[in-house]
Structure 1
Amino acid sequence: MREAAILTRVYLRMLGAYLRAVLEYRTDALLLVLATVLTQVAGVVFLLVVFTQVPTLGGWTRWEVMCVYAMVVLAEGIGSLFFEGSWHLAAFVNLGVLDYLLVRPYPVVLQVMGATLGPNGLGGAVLGIGLLVAAAPRIEVDWDPISVGWALLLLGSGVVVKVAINLASNSTAFWLLSPSSSSAATIHTLGDLARYPITVYSFGVRAVLTIVPLAFVGYFPVANLLGKGVSGTIGAFTPVVAAGCALGAWAYFRRGLRRYESSGS
């Protein structure tokens, strides 16, 4: 327990150091946050326009879809804000930066994930929380203390799933040896489909979003809260999936790290 507290404190100090560096250019940081918010708001406006034409989307009402959208946006925002460093792993491998991280007395995976901070994630996190606060009273869920606690667990599990997928997809850099994370970017783009109920897609797309498993970031957790049949039952396993994703991503990163070779310069 004490070791975990120390690791967390050091991690937050790393992020704090990078935040101070970012705030040296406050206008740039503010513009980045605003650009992110505007992009996400455009997605919300798109949904509102869609629901002016149809009463439901794949069997989901407007505010139910908003919950799914909000959970994905929130997970992406938290991932960017606190774990943005994983997106720089390809450059670290290609340039040999990992040489410096390997000799430090701190877990390499945490050094990588905390190497930078994404100020754009703040906009996504705030918007996601705002949408959830607005949608929660408008969906058919009895918000007693138990359901609130379970909802928070599902929300946290969705965040873990998203962060783990980002780490695992970026860890392919150990094998591809490319200065850019093209495979990770592809999976991240695929995650945009998970912002909506997967019932609107064909069987093939639903299968991909379940196997990857991006649908456990928002769709399955919300389906569980709403008690939507089989999807709701599957959503009950979101914490288990999150634990599996975290362990799998960590193991995949460790395997890649074992085959890492210095840049030689």
Structure 2
Amino acid sequence: MRTARLYLRLLGAHFRSLLEYEADFLILATATVLMQVVNIVFLAALFAKVPEINGWTFWSVVMMFGAVALAEGVGSLFFDGMWSLAWQINRGDLDYFLVRPYPVALQSSSTNVGINGLSNILVGGLMIGAGLAHSDVVWSPWRVTAGVLLLISAVVIKVSINLATNAASFWLASPSPLFAFALHQVGDLARFPLSIYPFALKAVLGFALPFAFISFFPIAYVLDSGGSKWLGLLTPLVAAYCAGAAALIFRRGLRRYESAGN
């Protein structure tokens, strides 16, 4: 509880500093909403030509877009600082973190707040809600509980992948997170049903880099759709694996840290 309380206080300090520039806040929030609106318009134009994509309807794909947006929003709002890890390593800023009585990974993650995360969380939640409202889902206490658990697990997977890929900066001599950003772009493929991709890409998105467990498998289980819907139940296990792997990679990388020499 103390760790969580301190983390929120660190984020709160950065959040208040960002709100000093209200115009920047409003512009960034509006731009993020417009990006999601463009995604919906694109989907609407696509499904105006084809009623389904491999058995997946417009609203089911909207839910996948919403799940990705929600996971990215939580990552941006609460853990945006991890995208600065490469710069912190390059400048030797981790020296300050190492001498403080607080986890280094959390110190790094709390150095920035992504205001765009608020918009992504809001719009992503609305997209999921709209998709559910237009879907014939038979609700039960178990399905509601499972849906919430799968959504939380999807967020954990996204944040863990971000941490693991950014931790690669301990081995890469670059002040920018090019490797992490490249894999983040790959994750955008999870906005669409996994079944439309060739086998090699399915293996990458489903197992090597389990982005499909952020959107496709959880949504398939909730909607009771698709032949692999049962894999959605594995989402919490995948989340635990990703979190453990990310923590291990970060600790191994931290042992390699040699400061900037100043």
TM-score computed with the length of structure 1 as normaliser:
0.96
Q: How many residue pairs align between the two structures?
A: 261
1:196 partnered with 2:212: no
* 1:241 aligned partner: 238
1:215 partnered with 2:221: no
Q: Which moved more, 1:244-253 or 1:229-238?
A: 229-238
Mapping of 1:1-265 within 5 angstroms?
5-210=1-206, 211-265=208-262
CA deviation string 1:227-258 (max 9, x = no partner): 33442121110000001100110110010001
Distance 2:96 2:209 in 1: 32
Deviation at 1:208, TM superposition (A): 1.2
**1:93/1:177 contact within 8 Å kept:** no
Q: Which amino acid aligns with 1:255?
A: R
Distance 2:83 2:222 in 1: 32
Aligned CA distance change for structure 1 residues 55 and 229 (closer, same or farther; 3 Å):
closer
**1:29/1:119 contact within 8 Å kept:** yes
Q: Which amino acid aligns with 2:142?
A: I
TM-score computed with the length of structure 2 as normaliser:
0.97
Distance 1:133 1:233 in 2: 22
Superposition RMSD in Å: 1.0
Q: Which moved more, 1:89-98 or 1:132-141?
A: 132-141
Q: Which moved more, 1:132-141 or 1:222-231?
A: 222-231
Distance 1:240 1:122 in 2: 27
Distance 1:231 1:94 in 2: 43
Q: Which amino acid aligns with 1:224?
A: Y
Deviation at 1:137, TM superposition (A): 2.1
Distance 2:254 2:54 in 1: 43
**1:223/1:231 contact within 8 Å kept:** yes
Distance 1:144 1:177 in 2: 51
Contiguous gaps of at least 5 residues in structure 1: none
**1:198/1:206 contact within 8 Å kept:** yes
Distance 1:168 1:230 in 2: 30
Contiguous gaps of at least 5 residues in structure 2: none
Deviation at 1:219, TM superposition (A): 0.5
| Secondary structure, aligned partner of 1:51 | helix
Distance 2:135 2:246 in 1: 34
